[in-house]
Amino acid sequence: MTDLTQLYQQVILDHAKQRVGEGTLRAPSADERPAGFGSSHQVNPTCGDEITVEYGPVTGTEHPLVWDGSGCSISMASASVAGELLQEQGADGFRTAAPAFRELMHSRGKGEPDEDLLGDAAAFQGVSKFPGRIKCALLAWVAFEDAIAQAETTKE
């Protein structure tokens, strides 16, 4: 594989198109926020990519996660794999995986991802060879971690 196809692995391109967890934000006003609700908006000022992640209680069968964002395929795919991980593993599983993902991103292409722990996020190993794209990959994870942490601290 060339560096470019390592960066843009099929699983990443697929996640960039079919995004897990993406949807319409509930965006409650500050005084209408239910207990256990977290919302985080993150921007990459160098390129303008942005994401908002909401995590918190819902009625009916919806999942507590919804995110909305715009950006490059790496940042959107990263949000999608994070969303998938959170949906499948829950907040505890996500919190365990996030440091491993961060470590992988800073490995300069040398990291050996634990696929059991990271799921599709393991495909981002090739991204770590491109220092200019690490921020793209981490943007969503910062928002996810922040939203989950807010949700935890505002629980009744």
Partner 1 sequence: MDHLETTRVRGDFPLLERTVNGKRLAYLDSGATAQKPTCVIDAEQDFLTRSNAAVHRGAHTLAVEATDAFEAGRSAMAGFVGAAEEEIVWTKNATESLNVISYGFANASAGLGGSDAERFRLGPGDSIVVTQMEHHANLVPWQQLALRTGAELRWLGLTDDGHLDLTDLSEVVDASTRVVAFTHVSNVLGTVNDVPRLVERAREVGAFTVLDACQSAAHLPLDLHGLGVDFAAFSGHKMLGPTGVGVLYGRKELLDALPPVLTGGSMITTVTMEESGFLPAPQRFEAGTQPVAQIVGLAAAVEYMSEIGMDVIAAHERAIGAALLDGVASVPGVRILGPRDPAVRIGAVAFDVDGVHAHDVGQFLDAQGVAARVGHHCAQPLHRRYGITASTRASAAVYTDQDDVDQFVAALRGVRPFFGLDGGTP
Residues near partner 1 (CB under 8 A) are 2-4, 7-8, 10, 13, 17, 46-50, 70-74, 130, 133, 136
Minimum CB separation of residue 25 from partner 1 in Å reads 18
> Nearer to partner 1 by C-beta: 4 or 30?
4
As measured in angstroms, the least distance from the Cβ of 79 to partner 1 is 13
Q: How far is the CB of 133 from partner 1 (least distance, A)?
A: 7
Structure tokens, 141: 């994870």
Contacts of 91 (CB under 8 A, 6+ apart): 55, 148, 151, 152
Nearer to partner 1, 47 or 100 (CB): 47
The three-state secondary structure class of 67 is strand
Is 19 or 133 the residue whose CB approaches partner 1 more closely? 133
* DSSP sequence for 89-150: HHHHHHHHHHHHHHHHHTSTT-----HHHHGGGGGGGGGGG-GGGHHHHHHHHHHHHHHHHH
Provide, rounded to whole angstroms, the least separation between the CB of residue 128 and partner 1: 14
- For partner 1, give the closer residue by CB, 18 or 96: 18
C-alpha angle 89/41/133, rounded to 5°?
A: 75
